[in-house]
Amino acid sequence: MKMAKNDNEVMLETILCYKTMALDHSKHDIMLKDKTVLQFLAYSLDSEDNEITEASLKTIELLVHNNKNHNVLRSTFGVSEALKATSEREGLEDVLKSLAQELVMKLEDAPAFHTRYRTMKVNPEQSQPNVRKLSSKVYSFHVFGLNEDTRKSVESAVIRIRGVISVIIDTGHQRCVVRVMENITPQILIEHIAKETKLEARLIQRNKFRQEVLIDLGKPENGGGDDGFEDANLPEYLPEEESPVKEKALYSFGRLRTSAASWVRTATSLFQNSFYW
């Protein structure tokens, strides 16, 4: 009897199929037409399986090498964040971290519009006098009771908070990742989730051994620096960064997909049903 493949096997198989497609530039348009492909590859970068991470990174590399794809790659939520996180990821091979950093730089340095703008020298302060660079932070929470039935209420509660930029909901791991303006504290988010949904949330941090731990911010003893926890330690896959807050930045990843398993099913189904080559 043939054994069913586990999620990692299906994920890797799907990524390798996309990688084969990406070798042919003529297939890039159809690959990027549905952003599910890019978001699946970005999600896969955070896999604990280094083989999956490498395959995803190499596939994205093939897409980055085609300059026509840069606008789509930059505008797809999660791609740049995932690449930056991979470049700083603890325990990952240096060659893969370097490749991730190289791809980040290529996307950041590439012209945002047509190639005719490459030779134009524009002073950002003159062209956008009213745009300020504002600092944002990312917090990751474990929400007890977060599932398909409660996802919408948690998402709605968080995105209504003034100062929240984006929300990622992962019901498979009961995780909620929130990017906020620097004046929003994790306590504000936890209290609002509790008030609106009656669910308990804990801040996820890493201790000095790089292990994820849940922090109950309601207990004062967890706020000090003598307990072995790293202060202001944000999730590796979505680091704190300085970035301009763009219009319509508020976007919920959870509305698209709700767990790693559903990402695999969707991307695999998309490949099997839409791509013939």
Both 85 and 157 in one domain: the answer is no
Q: Does the residue 126 lie in any domain?
A: no
What per-residue confidence (pLDDT) applies to 110? 57
CATH code, domain carrying 94: 1.25.10.10
Q: Does the residue 264 lie in any domain?
A: no
Both 102 and 145 in one domain: the answer is no
Number of domains in the chain: 2
Both 18 and 83 in one domain: the answer is yes
Q: Does the residue 269 lie in any domain?
A: no
Element (H or E) spanning 40, and its range? helix 36-44
Q: Does the residue 221 lie in any domain?
A: no
By percentage, how much of the chain surpasses pLDDT 90?
26
Q: Does the residue 48 lie in any domain?
A: yes
Question: Do the beta carbons of residue 21 and residue 277 sit within 8 Å?
Answer: yes
Both 102 and 17 in one domain: the answer is yes
Which range marks the domain in which residue 101 is found? 7-109
pLDDT in tens, 134-177: 567 888 899 999 998 999 899 888 888 888 877 888 888 898 88
Q: What is the pTM of this model?
A: 0.46
Both 34 and 76 in one domain: the answer is yes
Cα–Cα nearest to 53, from 84, 22, 12:
12
pLDDT in tens, 15-54: 998 899 999 999 898 888 867 788 888 888 888 889 999 9
Q: Does the residue 120 lie in any domain?
A: no
- Tell me the three state secondary structure of residue 202: strand
pLDDT in tens, 204-225: 988 877 788 899 986 544 444 4
CA dihedral 233, 239, 245, 248 (to 10 degrees): -110
Both 149 and 102 in one domain: the answer is no
Better-predicted residue by pLDDT, 161 or 125: 161
Which of 109, 127, 149 finishes a domain? 109
The whole-angstrom separation of Cα 87 and Cα 122 is 29
CATH code, domain carrying 152: 3.30.70.100
Tracing tokens 């791809």 back to the chain, one arrives at 103
Better-predicted residue by pLDDT, 255 or 179: 179
Q: Does the residue 30 lie in any domain?
A: yes
Question: Do the beta carbons of residue 200 and residue 143 sit within 8 Å?
Answer: yes
Q: Does the residue 27 lie in any domain?
A: yes
